[in-house]
């Protein structure tokens, strides 16, 4: 609380100078900065690159914690679709083994960002026994001037220290929505001071459809980026239910700082594809698919909603967390009433069922919260052109349903997805995963795993 008050007081004193500081930054911009990285010797990857794979048994469940009350005009109900770990956060926190803080997006309807502390997690089946995070920076709207109204929004957040010619750390963001008929710009960055976030953007991710780029975001380790995607330390991607983002999670490496400080509005960022279960055809608003180019076990009603690049000693993995469809999948309503998708006007269209089965979309018999693991060496081969972007497959799967407080569907509450965002504390090997609509007032619960 002391830290929060100090931050608010400092920002209040400096608020009048925010606009002036922005103008000075703009005057000093001289165009694109050269990326700062160290290239490996030709044909020899850096010795520090992890050579072994993280296995599911390397993740130890620690416990969970609750989210705080409302602040700044929003709250944590129906939250949890975007989060980023901030190593410099909460400097006055006691040395309890869980340093730093989390930036995360709150209520789905508001899409505002807050910074919270990380309390000691508890492994308890009773929510009342969990510690509660504190608000370090109240909710702020960092995208109001950049985005119009977003219907069924998706969002991503990631933190990086200064890159290229930057003089300050940045909070990177992406926003999108369920339907993306136009190739609008989606990405930007902001300052970590939410009272003066100074958001900059928006930019495109190469020539790729928004359906594949504007959800989860996370840091790429420096050593891997230097060897395989020089100057690009930010991973971004999306999995959209159905097939419009391809037949599995998509992932791309970008480095916005390479195109300017900041890049001009509308810039097409240089992009290295790492995963794409399909093909981008120029001018087409969705990924072109072929059933031979799919992730093993793919289902149209899957929901891969968060990701992280895990490293620990000599082990590494790229992981996605999400809600995996179990059993049969269909398009229509949750009571197994199927809605035609062929477009044939001669087909019979069913009546909309009564509540709570009146929400149309992709459904399955059941759901399971899962983590899937990818080999970074295979993604390196994609970056180098030695594999197609649809060839890497998950090498392991971990079900985390047993740790959730409210797994499975709840049709009456509109609960169809189990988990949301992920964030990773690389220095301490702590993985944070948001369970959606599991706490009081439909708040998220944050689960913590330790990477041994």
At 341 the pLDDT is 86
At 48 the pLDDT is 63
- Dihedrals φ, ψ of 56, to 5°? -50, -35
pTM reported for the whole predicted model: 0.91
**pLDDT average, residue stretch 246-264:** 98
Q: In degrees to the nearest 10, what's the CA dihedral of 260, 174, 266, 245?
A: 120
Q: Is 20 left (phi over 0), alpha (psi -120 to 50) or beta?
A: alpha
Residue 18 in domain: no
Q: How would you write 160-171 as a 3-class SS string?
A: ECCCCCCCCCEE
Instruction: Give me the count of residues in the chain.
Output: 452
Residue 38 in domain: no
At 380 the pLDDT is 98
Judging by beta carbons within 10 Å of its beta carbon (0-12, 13-18, 19+), is residue 353 exposed, middle or buried? middle
- Distance between CA atoms of 378 and 365, rounded to whole angstroms? 33
145 within 8 A of 188, measured Cβ to Cβ: no
- Distance between CA atoms of 343 and 13, rounded to whole angstroms? 60
Residue 10 in domain: no
What residues contact residue 45 under an 8 Å CB cut-off, 6+ apart?
Answer: 227
Residue 392 in domain: yes
- Distance between CA atoms of 197 and 335, rounded to whole angstroms? 45
pLDDT band per the 50, 70, 90 thresholds, residue 149: confident
Q: Give the CATH number of the domain where residue 97 resides.
A: 2.115.10
- Distance between CA atoms of 118 and 96, rounded to whole angstroms? 10
At 1 the pLDDT is 43
Residue 70 in domain: yes
Q: What is the number of domains present in the chain?
A: 1
Question: What ranges in 200-302 are assigned the alpha helix state H?
Answer: 222-228
Does residue 79 carry a pLDDT above 50? yes
- Distance between CA atoms of 96 and 428, rounded to whole angstroms? 12
How do beta strands 251-254 and 234-236 pair? antiparallel
Closest Cα to residue 246, out of 438, 390, 68? Answer: 390
Q: Report residue 218 as tokens.
A: 């996370």
Quick: pLDDT tens for 394-432. Answer: 999 999 999 999 999 999 999 999 999 999 999 999 999
- Please give the sequence-ordered ranges of beta strands (E in DSSP) within 232-386, or none if there are none: 234-236, 251-254, 268-269, 271-275, 303-312, 315-332, 361-374
Residue 52 in domain: no
Residues facing residue 367 across a β-bridge: 325
Residue 36 in domain: no
232 within 8 A of 272, measured Cβ to Cβ: yes
Closest Cα to residue 269, out of 318, 226, 228, 233? Answer: 233
Q: How many CB atoms lie within 10 A of CB 166?
A: 17
Q: Which domain holds residue 102?
A: 59-327+353-451
Closest Cα to residue 69, out of 395, 449, 452, 439? Answer: 439
Quick: pLDDT tens for 195-232. Answer: 999 999 999 999 999 999 999 999 999 999 999 999 99
- Distance between CA atoms of 215 and 239, rounded to whole angstroms? 8
- Distance between CA atoms of 440 and 450, rounded to whole angstroms? 26
At 91 the pLDDT is 87
Residue 432 in domain: yes
């Amino acid at each position: 609380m002391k830290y929060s008050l100090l931050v608010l007081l400092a920002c209040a004193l400096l608020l009048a100078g925010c606009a002036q500081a922005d103008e000075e930054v703009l005057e000093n911009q001289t165009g694109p900065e050269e990326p700062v990285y160290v290239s490996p010797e030709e044909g020899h990857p850096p010795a520090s690159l992890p050579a072994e794979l993280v296995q599911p048994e390397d993740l130890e469940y620690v416990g969970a914690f609750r989210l705080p009350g409302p602040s700044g005009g929003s709250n944590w109900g129906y939250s949890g679709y975007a989060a980023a770990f901030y190593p410099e956060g909460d400097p006055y926190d006691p040395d309890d083994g869980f340093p730093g803080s989390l930036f995360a997006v709150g209520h789905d309807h508001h899409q505002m960002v807050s910074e919270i502390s990380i309390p000691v997690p508890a492994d308890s089946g009773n929510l009342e026994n969990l510690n509660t995070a504190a608000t370090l920076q109240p909710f702020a709207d960092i995208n109001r001037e950049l985005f119009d109204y977003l219907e069924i929004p998706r969002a991503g957040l990631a933190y990086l220290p200064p890159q290229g010619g930057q003089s300050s750390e940045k909070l990177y963001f992406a926003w999108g929505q369920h339907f993306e008929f136009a190739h609008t710009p989606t990405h930007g960055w902001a300052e970590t001071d939410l009272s003066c976030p100074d958001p900059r953007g928006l930019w495109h991710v190469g020539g790729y459809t928004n359906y594949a780029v504007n959800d989860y975001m996370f840091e790429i380790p420096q050593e891997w980026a230097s060897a395989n995607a020089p100057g690009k330390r930010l991973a971004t991607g999306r999995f959209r239910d159905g097939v419009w983002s391809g037949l599995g999670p998509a992932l791309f490496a970008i480095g916005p700082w390479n195109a300017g400080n900041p890049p001009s509005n509308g810039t097409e960022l240089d992009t290295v594809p790492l995963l794409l279960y399909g093909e981008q055809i120029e001018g087409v608003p969705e990924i072109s698919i072929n059933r031979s180019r799919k992730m093993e076990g793919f289902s149209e009603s899957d929901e891969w909603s968060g990701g992280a690049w895990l490293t620990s000693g000599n082990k590494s993995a790229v992981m996605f967390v999400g809600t995996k469809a179990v059993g049969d999948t269909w398009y229509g309503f949750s009571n197994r009433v199927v809605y035609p998708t062929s477009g044939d006007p001669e087909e019979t269209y069913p009546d909309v069922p009564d509540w709570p089965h009146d929400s149309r979309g992709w459904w399955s018999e059941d759901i399971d919260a899962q983590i899937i693991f990818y080999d970074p060496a295979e993604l390196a081969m994609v970056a180098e052109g030695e594999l197609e972007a649809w060839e890497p497959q998950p090498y392991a799967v971990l079900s985390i349903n047993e740790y959730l407080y409210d797994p499975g569907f709840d049709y009456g509450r509109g609960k169809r997805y189990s988990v949301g965002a992920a964030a990773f504390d690389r220095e301490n090997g702590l993985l944070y995963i948001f369970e959606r609509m599991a706490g009081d007032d439909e708040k998220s619960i944050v689960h913590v795993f330790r990477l041994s």
